[in-house]
Each structure stands twice: as structure tokens, then as C-alpha cells.
Amino acid sequence: MRYQIKIGKNNQIPLPDELCRELGINLGDILFCKLIENSTKIEMTKHIDQTLSDAEIASEGNLARVTPYIY
């Protein structure tokens, strides 16, 4: 599945509720973000360990927690 978005303020990536439901993504989930070489694409998958703390997520650099999007 492909989805095109524009990155919002504070580098937030908006994921519509319908897309999250379809992909089984919930608030609080931890996503692994991978930049596709020679492209402007980012591949996101659920991280294998959903119990990481915010500090552990920040130290990895390529993980993100799903939070409500604030416009």
C-alpha cells in the first residue's frame, strides 16, 4: 500500500484514521521508520517491541510513537 502525505509542523506525519484502521495502527504503537534510498519515500512498520519507553524510542533515532495529530 502506498500513501502520499505532506510532512506537517514539527516533522509530524499525518496518518488518517481510515488508513490506521485499515493497517491496524493504534495510538501508542511504535513504528520503525526506514528511508528508501534514492527516493523521497519512508517505509513504516510496527516495531517488534511495543514496550519501549519514550527515552528508548528517542535514543534509537528511527522509531516513532503514534500520537494524536495536532493541526
Is pLDDT above 90 for 2? no
Look at 62 and 3; give whichever has higher pLDDT. 62
pLDDT tens, residue by residue, 8-60 = 777 788 888 888 898 899 999 999 999 888 888 888 999 999 999 999 999 99
Give the contacts of 65 (CB within 8 A, at least 6 positions apart): 28, 29, 30, 31, 54, 57
Is pLDDT above 90 for 69? no
Is pLDDT above 70 for 71? no
Q: What is the pLDDT of residue 49?
A: 96
**Cα 58 to Cα 18: distance, rounded to the nearest angstrom:** 27
Q: So where are the chain's domains?
A: 9-65
